[in-house]
Structure 1
């Protein structure tokens, strides 16, 4: 299997907003899909952020266990495939563009409402959009650790530690 091409660049979120809204409409049209709220998160949601051209969507359901095998099959029919669910409190799916390289252009994070993971997604997104220092620190983290992207497990581990420090360290930021 070929490796996924990874590149980061400064993104203009306006070019991704329409794709985000179109994808939400498609997901809402899935028959018998549990009711949910959604938010555009990640680099494509923030203007001039460094990142990959991957739209990150947070989908929040009342109960994570409402997402059943039938919902997963319906997501599969739309091109989504389960990426992770290792007891982290959320399920993630990627919309695969190229199975040979495992390239994807949309990633869903399905989280249960009012859990710590849900609150952390929302709070970190809020901080990136409203705290210039945290935004710049995260941009610098991406630049400094870009070479780890080819080893995604190592990059994700370092990124999660970085985000956890921010979430635990910013006592002056207001939680929403």
Structure 2
């Protein structure tokens, strides 16, 4: 897997993230026996309030997290999504990659059980970062700081997640 954080972008002049989101949303809802009940384009590529990696992040809501097991290894693999096998707290992460050599993430599915604190925190934090310019600027600054002190993408993601948790405790 690509071991570095991808160069940050500040606009959508090349990637057409909204169009990609609409296509993937349709795909997720139209898979046979899909447990998907909700999707939302989240993160920096939705609003560009801060610099971000060129990765489309999608929040995917399911009734029960165990429902995803029937979906992930078969039907999502067929359409190019693969499960990320890291330790994630109360969510399943799947990604679509640019190719099988570089393995740069292009799309990430954050699959979370609806009506849980984790799901509500995702929605609230995304709303906060997309509507509060001051907090978005603080987050941008923190991301740059984390990037400078991270030796791998995994370390960067862990520190970013820890900062998300601090933001949730402070503002939500």
- TM-score (norm. length: structure 1): 0.87
**In 1, Cα distance between the equivalents of 2:27 and 2:79?**
9
Unaligned runs of 5+ in 1: 172-176
Partner SS, residue 59 of structure 2: strand
| TM superposition shift of 1:86 | 3.1
Q: Which moved more, 1:64-73 or 1:90-99?
A: 64-73
Judge conservation of contact 1:4–1:101 (CA < 8 Å) in 2: no
Q: Tell me: CA distance 1:148–1:26, structure 2 relative to 1, closer, same or farther (3 Å).
A: farther
- Per the alignment, residue 80 of structure 1 pairs with 81
Judge conservation of contact 2:4–2:152 (CA < 8 Å) in 1: no
- Misfit runs of 4+, over 6 Å: none
**In 2, Cα distance between the equivalents of 1:124 and 1:111?**
15
Aligned Cα root-mean-square deviation (Å): 2.2
- Per the alignment, residue 41 of structure 2 pairs with 40
- TM-score (norm. length: structure 2): 0.89
1:157 is aligned to 2:162: no
Q: Tell me: CA distance 1:156–1:107, structure 2 relative to 1, closer, same or farther (3 Å).
A: same
Unaligned runs of 5+ in 2: none
Provide the aligned length of Structure 1 versus Structure 2. Answer: 171
Higher relative contact order (CA 8 A, sep 6+): 2
| TM superposition shift of 1:46 | 1.0
Partner SS, residue 98 of structure 1: coil
Superposed CA deviations along residues 87-139 of structure 1, whole A, max 9, x for unmatched, are 51110100122222211211001100111211111111010011111111111
- Per the alignment, residue 10 of structure 2 pairs with 10
| TM superposition shift of 1:149 | 5.5
Q: Tell me: CA distance 1:121–1:144, structure 2 relative to 1, closer, same or farther (3 Å).
A: same
Judge conservation of contact 2:49–2:136 (CA < 8 Å) in 1: no
Q: Tell me: CA distance 1:37–1:51, structure 2 relative to 1, closer, same or farther (3 Å).
A: same
1:115 is aligned to 2:112: no
Q: Tell me: CA distance 1:71–1:32, structure 2 relative to 1, closer, same or farther (3 Å).
A: farther
